[in-house]
Amino acid sequence: MIVVMNSKATQEQLDQVQARLKEWGFEIHLSKGVERVVIGAIGEKKPVVIQSLEAMEGVEKVVPILQPYKLAGREFHPEATLVKAGPVVFGGEKMVVIAGPCAVENEEQIITTAQAVKAAGASMLRGGAFKPRTSPYAFQGLEEKGLKMLAAAREATGLPFVTEVVNPRDVETVVEYADMLQIGARNMQNFTLLREVGKARKPVLLKRGLSATIEEWLMAAEYIMSEGNYDVVLCERGIRTFETATRNTFDVSAIPLIKRLSHLPIIADPSHAGGKRYLVEPLALAAIAAGADGLMMEVHPQPDQALSDGPQSITPAEFGEIIKRLRPVTEAVGRRL
Amino acid sequence: MIVVMNSKATQEQLDQVQARLKEWGFEIHLSKGVERVVIGAIGEKKPVVIQSLEAMEGVEKVVPILQPYKLAGREFHPEATLVKAGPVVFGGEKMVVIAGPCAVENEEQIITTAQAVKAAGASMLRGGAFKPRTSPYAFQGLEEKGLKMLAAAREATGLPFVTEVVNPRDVETVVEYADMLQIGARNMQNFTLLREVGKARKPVLLKRGLSATIEEWLMAAEYIMSEGNYDVVLCERGIRTFETATRNTFDVSAIPLIKRLSHLPIIADPSHAGGKRYLVEPLALAAIAAGADGLMMEVHPQPDQALSDGPQSITPAEFGEIIKRLRPVTEAVGRRL
Amino acid sequence: MIVVMNSKATQEQLDQVQARLKEWGFEIHLSKGVERVVIGAIGEKKPVVIQSLEAMEGVEKVVPILQPYKLAGREFHPEATLVKAGPVVFGGEKMVVIAGPCAVENEEQIITTAQAVKAAGASMLRGGAFKPRTSPYAFQGLEEKGLKMLAAAREATGLPFVTEVVNPRDVETVVEYADMLQIGARNMQNFTLLREVGKARKPVLLKRGLSATIEEWLMAAEYIMSEGNYDVVLCERGIRTFETATRNTFDVSAIPLIKRLSHLPIIADPSHAGGKRYLVEPLALAAIAAGADGLMMEVHPQPDQALSDGPQSITPAEFGEIIKRLRPVTEAVGRRL
Amino acid sequence: MIVVMNSKATQEQLDQVQARLKEWGFEIHLSKGVERVVIGAIGEKKPVVIQSLEAMEGVEKVVPILQPYKLAGREFHPEATLVKAGPVVFGGEKMVVIAGPCAVENEEQIITTAQAVKAAGASMLRGGAFKPRTSPYAFQGLEEKGLKMLAAAREATGLPFVTEVVNPRDVETVVEYADMLQIGARNMQNFTLLREVGKARKPVLLKRGLSATIEEWLMAAEYIMSEGNYDVVLCERGIRTFETATRNTFDVSAIPLIKRLSHLPIIADPSHAGGKRYLVEPLALAAIAAGADGLMMEVHPQPDQALSDGPQSITPAEFGEIIKRLRPVTEAVGRRL
């Protein structure tokens, strides 16, 4: 940690900062420049330290040197982690393709879709039973009935499934049915929920928050891991920017960055990132080329009848076409579908 | 609602869109331009309609005409709403000043602070008992013990208090102690929590999410109100932008915009918006000049010993100074402190 | 164009808006809903119309239906455009790879780099002679001497070159030497400069502005084209967002979006987008997979001696490695390097 | 400057970095932590140094300690600067109010407006003769004829005027007529133009770029000042964010921040910031309360006939009303109109 004193800091203020650092167990290196005094403090530990120092008189800024995430970071865990969800493995040579509707609407819809996406090459099913909707008047999901339908679809196809959990109270129920728990973008900093899934013994798919930095995202993973659940897979799904031509801005750089900073697998969701059917294919291709470990796509038998996210949903036939285009690119980067 | 067909839409696609609109009970007006057909659909009701239409073949875009929030909007509720929290009234001529530490640390700290801010002119106390922290290793709050301390401070000073609730399970407990429930920025779209406080019979202070649009913010208020709790006060606390010189970008325009779009009171939090002690005063002044109904400021007896948010906390003495500067500006805009 | 009247608009205001529309030659369709009157105006022509209407009493908003760019748009020019710069063709089956240093520093540096990138597979050379630098104290480029060195490098290798022009006064000089003129991100809305290169008879590489929407970018292309120069190639190079882990956020979605909205070729600059050497390869792969017509990369023989943009520059050897990895992905999407 | 080595940096890489720093004349302080080596380098001078260091093997990041702007910064120039433009002084006790139309349209319009705004309390006239428009098909201004009309309005009213210059070639002409030169938001990093006005002997009004950080803005001022022109006034006019309810997001925090970091005066433009007529008053009030040295507002006799920016223009009568509301707030913060 580096503490930069401001240009008008007095000797007394400098002494107080040094005393505080020593009290906290830091070793100190002082550099006196012509215009600034800079203190190098070795041994940084607690997050509170930075805020307290910045609140001291005479301090201009505090620059942390070490990353605040330890369990999620690659520094102390250099080899890549493989996360298993039922028969599926994230982070290996084989790309994981998750497909299914935004929301489970009825048993026929989810079973038909599951069969169709399996036939086209998906290895996992997705479908929402608990839906976080921006409008209180929109369809909110079938809840436990939806989970049962997902389980029936798994029964019928052998595909494991991932589904979102939005209420800490529902974690237990969802764990009973699902192969993997999804934390949605709007809940990425719902710390109560993160702790709860951290205690669950099921892998977690952690979507990036709409305006979350890479660091905050890894801190959210750290929350889950700090409760003992190390099976976390990250999912880039676009961030909020000034651009309105797309629903979100797909931050493809996040894929290689996460690979560098963390040992956790990362997949991409081209459906939510672009928000338009015609963007699913190019964004899926881009994600794979950039090193993603998998993809999650919204597939609905009749997008214009979907109870949510119709404009970004593709049909099973379109999904099949995309899979065909993905195959050569996947192989070109040394992996397989 | 306006449906714009794309330039290559066929007559068949146009017929299908019209049929769907009629099926949903819309009255239709067709405008055929040289390059585009535009359909005016009168009677818009359900949010799902827009998404379904956008997913139809031949549709370029759908432009909603009416605001999606009904209870929170000013259209059907032209007169301003007054919200009472204990003896305090939000939205009236008198400005509400809420002050207190980020987190309750111990009884002495909170009582001393309450006495000091009351003496300086605060009308309400704030203090966190349940803290949502980005790091799992940071101080997470004293929970129910913290609530008891806040109640003791109210006892000692007569100041009602507002405190954040982060877990739907804790709403009942917080309701027992607090005069007002706060929904923090990171939980603005935690719909489970919104519904829960919507069922509670206590007023709610709803902070704007870091990357929430004005419309999403009012939709979050709508969630609470749709459960029967109409006592919602909004709080602007800065949004996330590219600028890093401030912790967030204080969106002062949100104040007059909310006043125009909604009948709910709105206050500002200059402490979180700027993230720096020296910005609290100018941002508080700006908020009041722009029409805010109140302010919420972080005050800590010793900012550099605070367990959280030290850099943006001011001392009771500094708070007193700010109140002095606020008084003439408050009167200049025709209100009082 | 759709004109939405506000809910309190009087009949008189409605009459005035209609009169104005007729005066401008629009055909009018009126839709009266329960809460709003909506006017469909057919025949939209001039940009000023929208602003004038929005300034009229009783008008809530004006929604344009047609795209404001005509020459750059695909609507009236459905087939893709090929742009030639010397022997190189943008937009065809063959990917264009432009490589070279950020700034021309001396003749040896530029000739050596040109030879190295040619050997590794580049088809065009880049190098700055006029440098727009954020600091007035940073290296500003060798100006005409730099252009001569670039010409010497072309002589030595046969590679055509593209170079930035920042001052309208220099356009003539740059046209004399260069095969293609670059408009940098900071000048994307320097309309004087756009007009000037629009009059030049050399192709233009138009980089996206840091905070330019897709529409503004295409309007900048429209500026150049409206002066008679139709040879415009777009270059995505990252936009400014809240994320600080990368220099900019590479908006890979812009590639398929531009392909859909415009007939102009589009390439990507993974060096500026990421700002880090280790991001060049994954972003280059992503761009190609998403459909880019080419790439522009910063290559410097000794990045740590570069007079600008060292952290994002790669060595010729690294460039050669990247080309090797690009080849299979390029072929997988049906194109060639 | 602080150089942080990455956790895998070798001793050889560390030696090379130290050698390079010594070569550049830095004094070195080494701090070896358990996980990182950190080098404090005293004497930082040239901007290129940081980039070169970041490009060296083994370097994780470089943290600059000193601000890159010297002439614009408050550090070496603690007292506030007063800038004179004709009879008007920016930065003193008296607030400067600039008003006038977006564009000069004809002599009658500009003279009438000048008389009206003068009567209502304006101390300076604004009006565009050279207009930077996003569409090549929009009205581009009357050029020198417009300047003559502005001069006639000054003649008629005694109000000095400020007008935008967009082309380096026009600086000389504009200097001949205007009392102050305006650099528009889109040209804030048009370095050629900045240098040109830096050579002019007229004060400059430098608007903040749409996505410019505070630091980049002060660096743009530094460009002008480095050419010898110290009479720079900054103007906050809103930044680009995800929020679409306003044209831009008015960053009111920029006012106190600039006051802290720089000695230059700063004014605000509530018309462009909000983009809506009804936001001009509250944003003007907020700016003054936050410490602005003045305001610039768009006033047009008939906003719905304006050739540009109608929706944000107010009438002279509305301007007069706003001035009345501004007066008590201005006095409340210890200044005068």
CB D178 within 8 A of CB D147: yes
CA distance A252 to B295: 40
Q: In this predicted structure, what is the pLDDT of residue B310?
A: 79
Q: Does D249 touch chain C (CB under 8 A)?
A: no
Inter-CA distances, B215 with B211, D207, D299, Å: 11, 29, 29
Facing C31 at nearest CB: one of B42, B75, B244 = B42
Please tell me the distance from the alpha carbon of residue D26 to that of residue A10, in angstroms, as a whole number.
25
How far apart CA B247 and CA B309 sit, in angstroms, is 11
CATH topology of domain A83-332: TIM Barrel (3.20.20)
* Chain B contact present for A169, CB below 8 A: yes
Determine, for residues A282 and C331 on separate chains, whether the beta-carbon distance falls below 8 Å: no
Is the predicted pLDDT of residue B232 greater than 80, yes or no? yes
Q: Which amino acid appears at position A186 of this protein?
A: R
CA distance A73 to C80: 45
> Are A311 and B219 within 8 A, CB to CB?
no
Q: How confident is the model at residue A44 (pLDDT cuts 50, 70, 90)?
A: low
Q: What is the pLDDT of residue C189?
A: 95
DSSP D265-302: -EEE-HHHHH-SHHHHHHHHHHHHHTT-SEEEEEB-SS
Average pLDDT over residues C135-154: 93
CA proximity to D154, closest of D102, D104, D229: D104
Is residue D97 a contact partner of residue D124, using CB atoms and an 8 Å limit?
yes
Search chain C and give the residue with CA nearest B211: C242
Smallest CA–CA distance from A312 into chain B, residue: B55
Bridge partners of D336, per DSSP, are D94
Tell me what pLDDT residue B48 has: 63
pLDDT at residue D34 tops 80: no
B281: pLDDT strictly greater than 80: yes
Nearest chain A residue to D244 by CA distance is A242
- How many CB pairs lie under 8 A apart between chains A and C? 127
Indicate yes or no: CB of A36 within 8 angstroms of CB of D66. Answer: yes
Residue D107 and residue A146: Cα distance in Å, rounded? 71
Q: Tell me the mean pLDDT in the region C115-121.
A: 96
> Which among A251, A260, A278 is the nearest to C243, CB-wise?
A251
Structure tokens belonging to residue C187? 């000048």
Q: State the complex-level ipTM.
A: 0.94
B60: enclosing H helix or E strand = strand B59-63
Alpha-carbon Rg for chain C in angstroms: 23
pLDDT confidence of residue B300? 93
pLDDT tens string B1-22: 889 998 889 999 999 999 988 8
pLDDT at A311 over 80: yes
Residue D55 near chain C (CB below 8 Å): yes
Indicate if the pLDDT at residue C318 is higher than 70.
yes
Residue C12, judged by CB atoms within 10 A of its CB (0-12, 13-18, 19+), counts as: exposed
C-alpha to C-alpha distances, A289 to A92, C125, C286, nearest whole angstrom? 15, 25, 5
The average pLDDT across C66-94 equals: 94
Q: Are the Cβ atoms of A135 and B222 closer than 8 angstroms?
A: yes
Alpha carbon distances (Å) from A167 to A183, A336, B165, C247:
10, 36, 14, 36
* Rounded distance between C-alpha atoms, residue A54 and residue A61, angstroms: 6
Strands A161-164 and A180-183: parallel
D173-218 confidence digits (pLDDT tens): 999 999 999 999 999 999 999 999 999 999 999 999 999 999 999 9
Query: CA nearest D59 in C: which residue?
Result: C311
pLDDT tens track for B85-100: 999 999 999 999 999 9
A241 touches chain B (CB under 8 A): no
The DSSP-derived string for D95-116 is PEEEEE-SB---HHHHHHHHHH
Contact residues, chain A, for D75 at CB < 8 Å: 7, 35
* Yes or no, beta carbons of B244 and C241 under 8 Å apart: no
Specify the CATH number for C2-63; select among 3.30.70.1140, 3.20.20.370, 1.10.357.10, 3.30.2310.20.
Answer: 3.30.70.1140
Q: B199 versus C60: which is more confidently predicted?
A: B199
Residues 11-30 of B with CB under 8 A from A: 20
For D292-304, the pLDDT digits (tens) are 999 999 999 988 8
- pLDDT at residue C45 above 70? no
pLDDT tens for residues B132-184?
888 888 888 999 999 999 999 999 999 999 999 999 999 999 999 999 999 99
Residue D116: pLDDT over 70: yes
At a CB cut-off of 8 Å and minimum separation 6, what does A76 contact? A70
Strand order across the beta sheet in which B37-42 lies:
B27-32, B37-42, B2-5, B59-63
Q: Does A249 touch chain B (CB under 8 A)?
A: no
Looking at residue C333, its pLDDT comes to 97
Taking CA–CA distances from B190, the nearest residue in chain A reads: A187
**Whole-angstrom Cα distance, residue B80 to residue C154?**
71
Residue B327, C-beta contacts closer than 8 angstroms, at least 6 positions apart: B337
Residue C234 to residue C204: CA distance in whole angstroms: 8
pLDDT score for A179: 98
Residue A80's Cβ-side half-sphere holds a number of Cα atoms within 13 Å equal to: 16
Residue carrying structure tokens 């040896």? C108
Q: What is the mean pLDDT of chain C?
A: 93
* Alpha carbons D204 and D183: distance in angstroms, whole number: 7
Q: Where are the alpha helices (DSSP H) in D291-333?
A: 316-332
In the numeric block, which tokens belong to residue D288? Answer: 């003054």
Q: What is the mean pLDDT of residues D242-253?
A: 96
The share of chain B scoring above pLDDT 70, in percent, equals 99
List C-alpha distances in Å: D296 to B173, B333, D116, D160: 52, 21, 15, 13
Angle at B128 between CA B123 and CA B129, to 5 degrees: 125
How close B300 gets to chain C, by Cα (Å)? 30
CA distance C210 to A167: 39
Question: For the residues C227-233, what does the mean pLDDT come to?
Answer: 97
Q: In C, residues 264-323, which contact D (CB 8 Å cutoff)?
A: 277, 303-311, 313
CA distances in angstroms from C114 to B239, B305, C307, listed in the order given: 46, 59, 17
| Tokens found for residue B146 | 């913290």
- Whether residue A277 and residue B55 make contact (CB cut-off 8 A), yes or no, is yes
Q: Summarize the confidence of residues D127-147 as an average pLDDT.
A: 90
Instruction: Find the helix packing angle between D47-54 and D11-23, rounded to 10°.
Output: 170
Class of residue A2 by CB neighbours under 10 A (exposed 0-12, middle 13-18, buried 19+): buried
pLDDT tens figures, D253-285: 999 999 999 999 999 999 999 999 999 999 999
Of C273, C282, C288, nearest to A255 by CB-CB distance is C282
Q: Is the pLDDT of residue D133 over 70?
A: yes
CA angle A176, A177, A183 (to 5 degrees): 90
Q: Given an 8 Å threshold on Cβ–Cβ distance, is B253 in contact with D273?
A: yes
Q: Does B67 touch chain A (CB under 8 A)?
A: no
Return the half-sphere exposure (C-beta side, CA atoms, 13 A cut-off) of residue C125: 35
- pTM for this entry: 0.95
CB-count exposure of residue D227 (10 Å: 0-12, 13-18, 19+): middle
Q: What number is the average pLDDT over the span C232-237? A: 98
Nearest CB among B251, B287, B329 relative to D333 is that of B329
Report the alpha-carbon distance of residue D156 to residue A321 in Å, rounded: 72
The answer, for D229 touching chain C at a CB cutoff of 8 Å, is no
d(CA A259, CA A249): 20
Closest-approach residue (CA) in chain C for A213: C243
Interface check for B31 against chain C (CB to CB < 8 A): the answer is yes
Predicted local distance difference test score (pLDDT) of residue B47: 61
Q: What is the pLDDT of residue C51?
A: 79
Confidence of residue C75 (pLDDT cuts 50, 70, 90): confident
B60–A contact, CB cutoff 8 A? no
Q: Which of A90-94, C205-209, D61-65, D268-272 has the lowest mean pLDDT?
A: D61-65
Pair type for strands D2-5 and C124-126 = unpaired
Q: Looking at residue C110, what is its pLDDT?
A: 97
For chain A, the domains span 2-63, 83-332
- What is the model's pLDDT at position A45? 62
Whether C242 sits inside 8 A of A213 (CB atoms) is yes
User: Could you tell me if A256 lies within 8 Å of chain C, comparing CB atoms?
Assistant: yes
Rounded CA separation C91/C98 (Å): 14
d(CA C40, nearest CA chain B) in Å = 7
DSSP 8-state code for residue C9: -
**Residue A296 confidence (pLDDT):** 98
B80/A187 Cα distance (integer angstroms): 32
Residue A48 has pLDDT above 80, yes or no: no
Which residues of chain A lie closer than 8 angstroms to C278, CB-CB? 256, 260
